Amino acid sequence: MQNINIKYINGPDVAKLALTDAEILAAVEEALLAQGNGGTVIEPRVHLVPESSEKGHFNVLRGYVKSMGVAGVKIVGDFVDNYKQDLPSEVGMLNLFDPETGIPKAIIDATAITDMRTGAVTAIGAKFLARKDSKILGHIGARGTAYWNVRLLDHLFNFDEIRVHSRRPESRDAFKERLERDLGKPVIVTDNWKDCLDSADIMVEASRLPEPKPLFLTEWVKKGAFVVPYGTMSAVEFSLTDIMDKIVVDDWGQCKPGRPFGSLRRHVDEGKVTEETLHAEMGEIVAGKKPGRESEEETNLFWHRGLSTTDIALGWALMAKAEKMGIGQTLRFA
């Protein structure tokens, strides 16, 4: 049997590769385009809860992107109290495979990938569903994915005003400092949800609640706004979907009844949001099979649970760049 080698790209390697905003968005949009054209396989994520969801859990995501010629499995831990040990709350590992032979191709630190691809999906959702002249962003949450939400949204919209809020003052202050340094513009920190979200053009809710609690009030959403709620536990009122002109998801298979977690979980389980009432999956919009925003007055919502294919797309982009730059290690597998 011939030798089998795999590429190992660790966290410092990912940092050295330094994917640009444009590279991140392009890779993720290609995965969404492939999905919209039927060129992907997305298995709904599964969860492993070692003790209780209050401590944390593992997400296992599986997928295949035909245009990239790669399949993958990502395992990511989501442990909310990790900050107490100076550890990231979300730590992931991505394994890539040859879909023709099943032979492993790469092992990649997916911690940054998880953050980047989530922010990219949020930003691409806004690209197609938000008003082009959106100038005020309200963002709840300062977790790892939050940084890329704000950074990639600002890359597309160049906001006049960015407001952020997080439960812990030290967390939101550090978030502000990082954003101001990297974006080169002032960021407003608020100590409550209303001041952060009320009447913003784009409203993103990425909180980390231990249990569902309606902290995001429907009355704060102005006509024409774009709303992205994706906390693991719902923070929105049950009435939120009543005012939406379009409701879009990343993948209905991960949102449909019986799946755990998610911002619109109650809405789906109680039949308020169904496959029939959805406007589209985001891939259908990217592929031009369903329209995005069609008027300035539309109020739109995008709920994304996280796509394995977008993790795979960024892993694929990192591998390609690593080959060009000579970064990463080759490991003997068999």
CA distances from 244 to 30, 223, 250, 298, 325 (A): 27, 9, 17, 8, 46
- pLDDT at site 82: 87
Query: What digits encode the pLDDT tens for the residues 11-32?
Result: 999 999 999 999 999 999 999 9
Q: Which residues pair with 83 in a beta bridge?
A: none
- pLDDT at site 62: 97
Query: What digits encode the pLDDT tens for the residues 199-241?
Result: 999 999 999 888 889 999 999 999 999 999 988 889 999 999 9
- pLDDT at site 133: 97
Query: What digits encode the pLDDT tens for the residues 86-95?
Result: 988 889 999 9
Q: Determine how β-strand 136-140 pairs with β-strand 161-165.
A: parallel
Cβ atoms 165, 193 nearer than 8 A: yes
Cβ atoms 112, 91 nearer than 8 A: no
CA 136 to chain centre: 20
Least Cα distance to 136 among 154, 155, 162 occurs for 162
What does the CA dihedral 267, 233, 196, 133 come to, rounded to 10 degrees? -50
Question: Mean of the per-residue pLDDT values for the chain?
Answer: 95
Q: Determine how β-strand 226-229 pairs with β-strand 161-165.
A: unpaired
Residue 253 CA to residue 305 CA, distance in Å, equals 10
Cβ atoms 17, 325 nearer than 8 A: yes
Which residue's entry shows tokens 């790469």?
106
Question: Residue 54: pLDDT above 80?
Answer: no
- pLDDT at site 144: 79
Question: Residue 260: pLDDT above 80?
Answer: no
Mean pLDDT of 124-134: 98
Domain ranges of the chain: 5-113+309-332, 131-305
Mean pLDDT of 105-123: 96
- pLDDT at site 89: 82
Percent of the chain with pLDDT over 70: 100
CATH number for domain 131-305, candidates 3.40.1440.60, 2.60.40.1180, 3.40.50.720, 3.10.50.40: 3.40.50.720
Cβ atoms 179, 164 nearer than 8 A: yes
Query: What digits encode the pLDDT tens for the residues 159-197?
Result: 999 999 999 999 999 999 999 999 999 999 999 999 999
Residue 259 CA to residue 244 CA, distance in Å, equals 23
Do 5-113+309-332 and 131-305 share a fold?
no
222: which DSSP letter?
A: P
Query: What digits encode the pLDDT tens for the residues 99-113?
Result: 999 999 999 999 999
Domain 5-113+309-332 class in CATH:
alpha beta
Residue 98 CA to residue 105 CA, distance in Å, equals 6
Cβ atoms 58, 89 nearer than 8 A: no
188 CB neighbour count, 10 Å cutoff? 15
